[in-house]
Amino acid sequence: MTTTTEIFPWNDNFNTGIDTIDQQHVKLVALINKLADNLYGLLDTNGLDSIFTELLSYADYHFHTEEAIWTKYFRNNQLVLNHKDAHRQFFYSLQNLKNEVNTEQPFSQVISKIISFLTHWLAYHILNNDMHMAHLALAIESGLSYEEANINVKDKMTKATQALIEIILSMYDKLSIRTLHLVSEIRERQKADVKLLLAANVFKNTFDKICITDSDFQIVDVNPKFCEITHLKYDELIGCNLKTLKPALDDQEFSPILWENVKNKGYWSGEIRYPVQKGKIESEWLTLSSIKDDLGTITNYVGVFSNVSQLLKRKNTLESLANYDVLTHLPNRFLLKDRLEQAIVNSNRNFERFAVCYLDLDNFKPVNDRFGHAAGDQLLCEVANRFKRIIRRNDTVARIGGDEFVIILRQIKNEEDCKDILSRLLVDISQPIQIGTETTLVTTSIGVAIYPQHGHDFESLLKIADKAMYASKQLGKSQYHFASD
């Protein structure tokens, strides 16, 4: 449950005796407390305007209510005019303080000024101005004339009373300042607690195995993954020597380098190996860090163990997602660009040519519409497999989107060297394809660009081959067409 810190604690001695005004004063004080609580929850000026709007809106409403009551009793007496002027001065002063937010002053310092002003102004305004006006109004309400009421109020608002007001204001100032400091400390503690909770959750739920020891390598804490891998319970691990569990850390040839780095640099990371069942050797990646006290003495060690094979598997998975089409497992546009740029380098070095073939399936959309997207995906996979069966080992076939593919034919001397493979592609793709219980047919149109005859980089070669492919479609589909010089 959220609670609001009271920068300005309400006291019944603030009651003026006029219920409407007193109720609104209570609300105004509550808003100031809410403002203070919310302001210290801010790290910067974002949200400051909305917090101020609520307070200023209610203050304006309260001031109009108050002025209407005073005007009822005193019309446009100088007291009423002075009271209105005090209200205007409130808005002016508060706006000036708010403008200081955009200066070079620390944000917390500006907040303290704003809260101090609000508590001091409101307490003084209630105890002095409002209390004076309320006593006058109630005296007139009881039947006294204005003159008689004024004398009566002067007796109540003596110099001693004024001195008491100043003492109370001083106490409230000190109280608000101390409370502000306390709120600030509480918020900082809350932030620290959140960070500790986050760190604890990371420690508990991370995939890696984490172990914390004292300066003598006796285990003081481990995470669940460490227990799982060692096949020991938490209580069984506490007090064990880490070097006993991980003998590589005490290897005579290897360990001196490790501990020298930890001592001098504060950490070491690298691969450690250890035997497992049936003579197998497992590898782990260890990051070992030392923790020192204020005097520079090592008090603890933290070891984070990661399975190398799993890391490599993750790396390979990420590389596959980045470079290969998810559906057909062919290279994607990104990897195609890399392969083509390699082909350019090799061709320039060896004075060779290569062909860029842009392929687009004919009538793929009707098949997709008739059988559905799942069947369309199945067809694309079958087409991809047929491409792979035909091209040579050092060639590349890639899917660059939809039903469009690109093939790089390496080490060719002229157009004639391509024609045999291109013809086989046309024939093989045109063979019936089984989709479930149905059989369907597709063909492909191919456009061919030759390096360096038709282009000198990835974009130009692809663009020219694409243009040649459209020419082949216009000529009747299911054929290849070479780009013209």
pLDDT tens per residue, range 267-313: 888 877 777 666 677 778 888 899 988 888 889 999 998 876 666 67
Pairing assessment for the beta strands 438-440 and 433-435 based on DSSP bridges: antiparallel
Cis before 247 (ω within 30): no
What is the per-residue pLDDT for 465? 97
End-to-end Cα separation, the chain, in angstroms: 78
Contact assessment for residue 17 and residue 138, using Cβ atoms and an 8 Å cutoff: yes
The CATH fold of domain 12-198: Four Helix Bundle (Hemerythrin (Met), subunit A) (1.20.120)
| 389 neighbors 446 (Cβ within 8 angstroms) | no
Instruction: State the pLDDT at residue 167.
Output: 47
Q: Whole-angstrom Cα distance, residue 203 to residue 195?
A: 12
**Homologous superfamily of the 209-309 domain (CATH):** PAS domain (3.30.450.20)
CB atoms closer than 10 angstroms to residue 438: 11
Mean pLDDT of 7-25: 82
Report the distance separating Cα 431 and Cα 459, nearest Å. 32
Tell me what the mean pLDDT of segment 123-137 comes to.
82
Cα distance between residue 340 and residue 231, in whole Å: 50
Spans of all domains in the chain: 12-198, 209-309, 324-482
What's the pLDDT tens digit per position in 38-52? 665 554 455 567 777
* Burial group, residue 254, by CB count within 10 angstroms (0-12, 13-18, 19+): middle
Residue 160 has pLDDT above 50, yes or no: no
Query: pLDDT band for position 381 (50/70/90)?
Result: very high
Q: What is the pLDDT of residues 54-85, one digit of tens each?
A: 888 888 898 899 889 888 888 878 888 888 89
**Burial 142-177, CB ≥16 within 10 A → b, else e:** eebeeeebbebbeeebeeeeeeebeebbeebeeebe
Position 163 scores a pLDDT of 47
**For the ranges 131-140, 314-323, 419-428, 457-466, which has the lowest average pLDDT?**
314-323
CATH architecture entry for 324-482 = 2-Layer Sandwich (3.30)
The one-letter amino acid at 272: I
The alpha carbons of the chain give a radius of gyration, in whole angstroms, of 41
> What's the pTM value of the predicted model, to 2 decimals?
0.42
